Amino acid sequence: CDETDEPDQDGVDANCDGIDGDLARAIFVTEFGDDSAEGGRTTPMRTIEGAVLKASVDMNRDTVLVGPGVYDGPLRLVAGVHIYGGYDFNWARDTTIKPTIRGGNPVVIAEGLTELTTLDGFAIESDRLAEMPSQNNVVVYVRDSTGLLLLRLRIQGGDGGDGVDGTNGSDGDIGEAGQNGQNGCETGNDLFC
């Protein structure tokens, strides 16, 4: 067995600890978990955001492993915290399984990430329609981040907000005078008009 094991596309348990990834560094998340839980394999947390917060203050655990389901956004990434989807209910990794992060505008936010930070194996979906007129519908927002690694994501954006009515145009110029009309017809004699 290897000493290290980063979650990979093939789902290989390289360090022989029972999962693809490092069990000692992992915080587990399922849609049936509880954010007051410890975040272990049998005591998973409920939200990705809660697990990221826990990982950001736990010096020993920097990896969040996410089971199938739909999770609420927005999700703000934290430098040095790695988030991996693609796990089934037995914690075997299959990257065709893509847990969904949905909601928020933007749904995923990455700002100022200068330390390696991974987001791997998710479907990310924005709301179907932006809430405000003329509002953008942003799915993944990245700014000032040199350490971000995005892998095996399916990103789907919704529609932007409806446009607002434009202002009235200015009055047109005065038109030219019309031409003289033709002679009228006698009443009842329409055949000769």
DSSP conformation letters of the chain? --S-----TT---TTSSSSSS-GGGEEEE-TT--TTS---SSS-BS-HHHHHHHHHH-SS--EEEE-SSEEES-EE--TT-EEE--B-TTS-B-TT---EEE-SSSSEEEES--S-EEEEEEEEE--SB-SSTT----SEEEES-SSEEEEEEEEE--BPPPPPPPPPPPPPPPPPPPPPPPP---TT-GGG-
Predicted pLDDT of residue 129: 61
Judged by phi (left if over 0) then psi (alpha if -120 to 50, else beta), residue 104 lies in: left
Distance CA 25, CA 145 (A): 24
| pLDDT over 80 (residue 193) | no
Distance of CA 74 to the CA centre of its chain: 8
Please name the amino acid found at residue 51: A
Predicted pLDDT of residue 40: 96
Q: How confident is the model at residue 127 (pLDDT cuts 50, 70, 90)?
A: confident
Predicted pLDDT of residue 177: 82
Predicted pLDDT of residue 157: 80
Higher pLDDT, 136 or 46: 46
Give, in degrees to the nearest 5, the angle at Cα 44 between 38 and 48: 100
Higher pLDDT, 34 or 162: 34
Q: How confident is the model over 67-126, as pLDDT tens digits?
A: 999 999 999 999 999 999 999 999 999 988 899 999 888 999 999 999 999 999 999 998
Average pLDDT of the chain, as a whole number:
89
Predicted pLDDT of residue 183: 73
- Per-position DSSP letters for 109-149, written without gaps between them: EEES--S-EEEEEEEEE--SB-SSTT----SEEEES-SSEE
Q: How confident is the model at residue 187 (pLDDT cuts 50, 70, 90)?
A: low
Distance CA 129, CA 178 (A): 50
Contact (CB, 8 A) for 152 and 121: yes
Predicted pLDDT of residue 130: 59
